[in-house]
Chains A and B, each alone.
Chain A
Amino acid sequence: MRLSRRHALAGFAALAGFAPTRAHAFGDAGAFHPRIVTSGGAKLDAERTTAPARWAYELVRRTSAPGRLSATSVAFDQPAFAAEPFAIWAGSTALAPLSGPERRGLERFLKMGGVLVVDDLSPASGEFEASARRELRRVLPEVAPVKLDASHVVFKSYYIVERPVGRVQGPAQIEALVRGKYAQVFLLSHDLLGALARSRGGGFSLDVDPGGVAQREQAIRLAVNIAMYVLCSDYKDDQVHAPWLMRRRARRRP
């Protein structure tokens, strides 16, 4: 049997997330790398620690994009935070107020064009999201969250996604902080990482609610689309794609 990239990745992904490593292969430097932000006391619970690596794995498996299957954590006030343009700020409880250096680090990251996904792992309580919004208001007081409509590029950057879902179905729209032409902070109330997380046994760590294979697949597709948006920005908004996408959407309508 020929060992494909996908098989190799699958094996590696089973270990990834538990043994953080640095990428050294040529070509990995610019690979998608979901970093977990710990500022404000944010942290992933044990069930979701594999989710970032799985996110990268699903991207590599399904697309041509490279991804780093190692999970790393970073804080807004660390110099390394400005070394890559993507990070995930996820948690299930309320965040502590950010320190001055943390606020400045986040502000610099966003002004340099970075993308941050804020994922509420406990949407029922909403404590994390509310506190994250509070801190973002302090960092970018002039930018108010807006609801992204269905035509936003994040819903067509790879898959055609009709609505956002995660472990829970959540709101039908994503809110985001948009600066200039680009959405830079995605505010998710869907526990996206919860839908991606895998257990040591190989299955998914958490059940999706209301449930079904299709919901988890849609959640993975949203994750892939967000990754593609990070890697290609608004590429799929280019005029050359428009007629194709219109035809595709028309074909999918009942």
Chain B
Amino acid sequence: MSARSWALSDDLSSLGSVAALLFAALSIVLLAIELGRRERLGPIIAATGVAATMALALAVLRPVRVTERGSLVGPRVIVLVDQSRRLDLPAEDGTARRVHAEAAVAAVRSRFADARLGVLGFGEGPPGPVPDSGFGPRRSAESDLAGAVGALAESTGERPRAVVVVSDGRLSRPAPGSDDAALKQAVGALGVPLHSVRLAEAGPKDASIRSVRAAGAAVAHQPLSLTIEVGCAGGLECTDVPVAVREHRQGVEPAVLASGTARVEDGTATLELRITLERAGARVVEVSIDAPEGDRVPDNDRRFVTFSVARERVRLLHVAGRPTYDVRTLRQWLKSDESVDLVAFFILRGMTDDTMTEDDSELALIPFPVEELFTEHLPSFDAIVLQDIDAVAYKLDRHLPALARYVEAGGGLIMVGGPSSFAGGNYAGTALERVLPVEISEKVEPHEAAEFSPRFTEVGRSAPVLGALFDLLGEDLPTMTGSNTLGKPRGASFVLMEHPRRKVGGAPMPVLALGESGDGRSIALGVDGSYRLAWSELAAGVSGRAFGALWDGLLGWLMRDPRFEVARAEVVGQCISGEETTLRLHRMPGASGAVAVSVERLGKGSQKVVDQKLPTPPAGPVDVAVGKLEPGGYVARVTVGQSPPARLDFACEKGGEAFSDSRPDGPRLERISAVTGGMSVLAGREATLPQPDATRIAAERHVTPIVPPWVWTALAALFLGAHWVARRRGGLT
């Protein structure tokens, strides 16, 4: 097709054209004023004056004739399809909203058959291309329409003539409750109509946990207030909804931290529950509701939250069966560390000791509060050091099962050697033995008196926990007077130091071993002379710093200090049940060797769900795909080379944040369309959406002067001359 039009000369700017026209208009106004003073020939003066002004203006503007040949193409239309996981929730008819969205995309394609249609998905960040159906393999947690429109407006390509949004309206941005001005500012950047296709008008019958918010950061041993919002929608009858908060731990059933009842009014209820997380690090907490009968979306009846629990100070219980230089040196080192909150109990008087007093008022002794310590106060400690204390003589034996549970629930335990430690302290065959990193045998001598120097194992040389000690002393360790008899390392425990002569099961006997049990960690040190790292000729050479180097590493490893971990792991994005989960591993400097990753579900009797080995991992961060996981808490362990494993606790949810509110929000889509000049329709009525005009594409353009420029000049000269004559005759100068 072709089209004709006219234009002004291309070599004159718009400003020049306007100036010329203004100048001409001003000339005519002045002429009109002058005509009042003329004596005769008024009409002729006016006619020649106007003609001269116009001819002069045309000589400046030189109008041209434009002839264009080209074609009309369909308008560019962008379809923005909501990629939120929320679209996996059901619509009114029970089918997933995603199914409705796929149908809507197909209908929009049909409606805009002549348009140049682009289908993009929006969720978090800029929109991205999606398959023809409108959905890719990944889902997002959010529905950020404002971000998507903003990204389109900033892109350099051809602007669309219209945008069609396919969503249920439960958008993250623009936020609910925004007024029209805010809506326009959020989604009006393109300056084109935003039509919308509403996928659902009403949600399913659903009781859900809308949100879980914590007031401030989680700190170990300190109460943390959780604000839990419960919602009921879709006509589900809710009054009192029970809520429970549980902590997931390894090897044991989840522990109930708090519970309450949410009283629902007008479809929502807010409940505040206080919980106390005793262990620092990543802790997986489940918040669940007991939904009323008729709830059609059970997946959002529980949320898993991973708290990164900080620790103000390490609260440590140091219990010693008798005071020695070893006890003194350890106490003084612990007291010198401002980050340690030390609670100590030393047995100063034995059963047979003769104090030579008439009564106890002459003594500064207090009873050993074994009952209080190991029942009421036990969870408040981050770690416990048992040093040379007989379990039977001091009635500790009845509390050993609780102590074992404490370790399995995330506590730390160090058993330090001495005549009354390990088998000598009647710990063999007890519940506590199962959480220690070594076996204890009742059938052998509990200890041996021969002097020896412990020897680093290969693991000990490379483990970060002994790195500082190894740097100070190298292979030389001070002489110890005797050793406890320790059994074989248990399960996945690691032996860091061994006896140069004594054997157990044909292998060198462990002297220092560490391992994990449930959520907790434990250490076995089978000598009572670690003080020689502070007090010996060898120790004096490094000013006694070797003792601090050893205990800083042991306590740090026990408390999961990142300095003593071989690697750090994180979940890439979120762990959503049913979707691929990837762990990213960051190895510490100096950590080398094969990487092994195992993932195990938290809870009782769980088994490994992932066990991968990377014999030759690449340099830098390593991504490990761990597959699709079920909802729940998990622990990932990462081993690099022969070092003890680093650990990451994380949670997987079904749907996650996107499932928290199943109600569609059609009115918000309607308002968005209204403020942008678009139309909002319910799914199935896409055929009524207005079509934008076609876009003209020019192929040829001819520009021809209406008359040659000299003609305009000649006419201007002619009319100016005539005007000058008429003015003279009419009595004007």
Give A contacts to B, CB under 8 Å.
Answer: 4-6, 23-32, 61-66, 79-80, 82-85, 108, 111-113, 156-160, 181-182, 217, 220, 228, 230-236, 238, 240-241, 244-245, 248, 251-252
Cα separation A238 to B335 with both chains bound (whole Å): 11
B379 within 8 A of A: no
Could you tell me if A83 and B537 are in contact, using CB atoms closer than 8 angstroms? yes
A57 CB, nearest partner CB in chain B, Å:
12
Among B359-367, B602-610, B625-633, B666-674, the one that faces the other chain is: B359-367
Which residues of chain B come closer than 8 Å to A245, judged between CB atoms?
A: 364
Give B contacts to A, CB under 8 Å.
Answer: 321-329, 331-332, 335, 342-350, 352-357, 361-366, 388, 418-419, 447-449, 451, 480-483, 528-529, 531-532, 534-537, 539-540, 543-544
Q: Can you add 12 more A-B contacts, CB < 8 Å, to A61-B354, A112-B535, A248-B364?
A: A4-B352, A63-B349, A65-B322, A66-B322, A111-B543, A159-B362, A231-B325, A233-B335, A244-B364, A244-B366, A248-B361, A251-B361
A246 CB, nearest partner CB in chain B, Å:
11
Could you tell me if A240 and B366 are in contact, using CB atoms closer than 8 angstroms? yes
Cα separation A32 to B388 with both chains bound (whole Å): 16
Could you tell me if A233 and B540 are in contact, using CB atoms closer than 8 angstroms? no
Could you tell me if B348 and A26 are in contact, using CB atoms closer than 8 angstroms? no
- Of the candidates B346, B357, B481, B534, the one whose C-beta lies within 8 Å of that of A29 is B481
B647 CB, nearest partner CB in chain A, Å:
33
- Of the candidates A25, A29, A241, the one whose C-beta lies within 8 Å of that of B366 is A241
B485 CB, nearest partner CB in chain A, Å:
10
- Of the candidates A24, A64, A217, the one whose C-beta lies within 8 Å of that of B323 is A64
B431 CB, nearest partner CB in chain A, Å:
25
Could you tell me if A83 and B536 are in contact, using CB atoms closer than 8 angstroms? yes
Cα separation A29 to B482 with both chains bound (whole Å): 9
Interface centre among A5, A23, A27, A112 (most CB of B within 10 A): A27
A41 CB, nearest partner CB in chain B, Å:
24
Cα separation A128 to B352 with both chains bound (whole Å): 39
Could you tell me if B537 and A160 are in contact, using CB atoms closer than 8 angstroms? no
Cα separation A156 to B344 with both chains bound (whole Å): 16
Say whether, besides A63-B349, A156-B364, A158-B364, A27 and B544 are in contact (CB < 8 Å): no
- Of the candidates A4, A26, A230, A252, the one whose C-beta lies within 8 Å of that of B483 is A26
- Of the candidates B324, B342, B531, the one whose C-beta lies within 8 Å of that of A65 is B324
Cα separation A30 to B324 with both chains bound (whole Å): 5
Which residues of chain B come closer than 8 Å to A24, judged between CB atoms?
A: 449, 451, 481
A84 CB, nearest partner CB in chain B, Å:
6
Which residues of chain B come closer than 8 Å to A112, judged between CB atoms?
A: 534-535, 540, 543-544
Cα separation A26 to B452 with both chains bound (whole Å): 12
Which residues of chain B come closer than 8 Å to A61, judged between CB atoms?
A: 353-354
Could you tell me if A232 and B325 are in contact, using CB atoms closer than 8 angstroms? no
- Of the candidates A5, A85, A234, A235, the one whose C-beta lies within 8 Å of that of B325 is A85
Could you tell me if B535 and A83 are in contact, using CB atoms closer than 8 angstroms? yes
Q: Which residue of B lies closest to A83 (CB)?
A: B536
Which residues of chain A come closer than 8 Å to B361, judged between CB atoms?
A: 160, 248, 251-252
- Of the candidates B324, B348, B349, B451, the one whose C-beta lies within 8 Å of that of A66 is B324
Cα separation A228 to B528 with both chains bound (whole Å): 18
The 10 closest A-B pairs by CB, nearest first: A26-B482, A30-B324, A231-B323, A29-B481, A30-B325, A82-B540, A27-B419, A156-B364, A64-B350, A30-B326
Could you tell me if A113 and B364 are in contact, using CB atoms closer than 8 angstroms? no
Cα separation A159 to B531 with both chains bound (whole Å): 26
Cα separation A128 to B172 with both chains bound (whole Å): 84
Q: Which residue of B lies closest to A25 (CB)?
A: B449
A150 CB, nearest partner CB in chain B, Å:
13
Cα separation A231 to B387 with both chains bound (whole Å): 14
Which residues of chain B come closer than 8 Å to A26, judged between CB atoms?
A: 418-419, 447-449, 481-483, 528
Say whether, besides A62-B354, A62-B356, A65-B348, A27 and B482 are in contact (CB < 8 Å): yes
A3 CB, nearest partner CB in chain B, Å:
11
B445 CB, nearest partner CB in chain A, Å:
10
Could you tell me if A79 and B322 are in contact, using CB atoms closer than 8 angstroms? no
A8 CB, nearest partner CB in chain B, Å:
11
Which residues of chain B come closer than 8 Å to A240, judged between CB atoms?
A: 343, 345, 366
Which residues of chain A come closer than 8 Å to B343, judged between CB atoms?
A: 238, 240
Could you tell me if B540 and A108 are in contact, using CB atoms closer than 8 angstroms? yes
Which residues of chain A come closer than 8 Å to B329, judged between CB atoms?
A: 85
Which residues of chain A come closer than 8 Å to B544, judged between CB atoms?
A: 112-113
Cα separation A228 to B347 with both chains bound (whole Å): 12
Which residues of chain A come closer than 8 Å to B534, judged between CB atoms?
A: 112-113
Say whether, besides A5-B352, A63-B349, A231-B323, A29 and B328 are in contact (CB < 8 Å): no
Could you tell me if B540 and A85 are in contact, using CB atoms closer than 8 angstroms? no
Interface centre among A85, A230, A240 (most CB of B within 10 A): A85
Cα separation A236 to B331 with both chains bound (whole Å): 12
- Of the candidates B321, B362, B364, B481, the one whose C-beta lies within 8 Å of that of A241 is B364
Cβ contacts A to B, 28 pairs, < 8 Å: A4-B352, A25-B449, A26-B449, A26-B481, A26-B482, A26-B483, A27-B528, A30-B327, A62-B354, A64-B321, A64-B349, A65-B323, A79-B537, A83-B540, A85-B535, A108-B543, A111-B543, A112-B534, A112-B535, A112-B540, A112-B544, A113-B534, A113-B544, A156-B364, A158-B365, A233-B328, A233-B331, A233-B332
Which residues of chain A come closer than 8 Å to B365, judged between CB atoms?
A: 158
